[in-house]
């Protein structure tokens, strides 16, 4: 709880994964991937409850071993490749509503962002509440600047983003940010009424690129392992 506001953290972790089989529980430095996100949530000063939304009995057992609650198994219609995160979150909200439990804010934590820390979570919560906003999303600086990108139309180069300057040196270009998928915080009202995580009033929470790594390939996983091992050796 922070300033009388209650926070529910939801970790979505279905059993299927096309890019890496059993990705959400793959071993990263000897620990299941999902455990890193559970640990961060448990260390937060403000998160009141951490649950894992999954369709997998195996993931349920592992999540509970590391201290998360798994109060239900996700229905099949919310567990396929086309399932939307917003539907998964609203399903969890409705589950608690039926049990006469409510939270002011929901924090969506993808298990594929293992370098996101409890400090990120607590700082983001503080920023959201102090800004009197209903939503916050984590971002990091984009690797590629869209000012330097071009589309090809009729064998001609066309700008993706219009830029009035004449100097295209990287250090002189505006900075662009991208969603890193590490965390979304939304009020229950926004999720239920708007069915979206981001709108024109969403507050950005900027994270560094290293902490923003999202595991989608085995190369991402090996890079994360290297970073974790180096941090342990320091």
Q: How confident is the model at residue 16 (pLDDT cuts 50, 70, 90)?
A: confident
- Indicate whether 50 belongs to any domain: yes
Average pLDDT, the chain: 93
pLDDT of residue 51: 98
Q: Span 21-36, mean pLDDT?
A: 96
pLDDT of residue 133: 94
Whether 5 and 48 have beta carbons less than 8 Å apart is answered as no
* CATH number of the domain enclosing 129: 3.90.550.10
- Indicate whether 29 belongs to any domain: yes
- Indicate whether 86 belongs to any domain: yes
Phi, psi of 139 (to 5 degrees): -140, 165
Structural domains counted in the chain = 1
26 burial (CB, 10 Å; 0-12 / 13-18 / 19+) is middle
- Indicate whether 64 belongs to any domain: yes
Question: Which of 152, 218, 145 lies closest to 178 in space, CA to CA?
Answer: 145
pLDDT of residue 144: 87
Say how far apart CA 58 and CA 16 lie, in whole Å. Answer: 12
What pLDDT digit, counting tens, does each position of 188-229 carry?
999 999 999 999 999 999 999 999 999 999 999 999 999 999
pLDDT of residue 79: 87
- Indicate whether 161 belongs to any domain: no
Residue 234 confidence (pLDDT) above 60? no
Tell me the two tokens of residue 161.
């983003």
Q: Which of 71-75, 159-163, 167-171 has the highest mean pLDDT?
A: 71-75
Whether 50 and 148 have beta carbons less than 8 Å apart is answered as no
pLDDT of residue 167: 65
- Indicate whether 191 belongs to any domain: yes
What pLDDT digit, counting tens, does each position of 108-131 carry?
999 999 999 999 999 999 999 999
Angle formed by the axes of helices 57-65 and 33-43, nearest 10°: 40
SS3 117: coil
pLDDT of residue 166: 65
Say how far apart CA 201 and CA 136 lie, in whole Å. Answer: 9
Strands 7-12 and 49-53: parallel
Say how far apart CA 162 and CA 178 lie, in whole Å. Answer: 18
Q: Span 83-106, mean pLDDT?
A: 94
Whether 213 and 115 have beta carbons less than 8 Å apart is answered as yes
**Domain residues for 12?**
7-141+176-233
């Amino acid at each position: 709880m922070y300033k009388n506001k209650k926070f529910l953290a939801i970790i979505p972790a279905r059993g299927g994964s096309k890019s890496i089989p059993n990705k959400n529980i793959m071993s990263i430095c000897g620990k299941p991937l999902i455990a890193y996100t559970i640990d961060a949530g448990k260390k937060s000063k403000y998160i009141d409850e951490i649950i894992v939304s999954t369709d997998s009995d195996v993931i349920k057992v592992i999540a509970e071993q590391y201290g998360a609650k798994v109060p239900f198994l996700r229905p099949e219609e919310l567990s396929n490749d086309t399932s939307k995160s917003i539907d998964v979150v609203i399903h969890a909200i409705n589950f608690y509503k039926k049990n006469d439990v409510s939270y002011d804010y929901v924090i969506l934590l993808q298990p594929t962002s293992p370098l996101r820390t409890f400090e990120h979570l607590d700082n983001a919560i503080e920023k959201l509440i102090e800004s009197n906003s209903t939503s916050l999303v984590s971002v990091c600086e984009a690797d590629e600047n869209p000012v330097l990108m071009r589309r090809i139309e009729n064998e001609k180069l066309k700008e993706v983003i219009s830029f009035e300057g004449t100097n295209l040196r990287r250090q002189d270009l505006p900075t662009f940010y991208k969603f890193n998928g590490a965390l979304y915080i939304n009020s229950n009202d926004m999720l239920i009424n708007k069915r979206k995580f981001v709108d024109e009033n969403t507050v950005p929470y900027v994270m560094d690129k290293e902490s923003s790594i999202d595991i989608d390939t085995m190369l991402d996983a090996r890079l994360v392992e290297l970073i974790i091992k180096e941090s342990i050796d320091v």
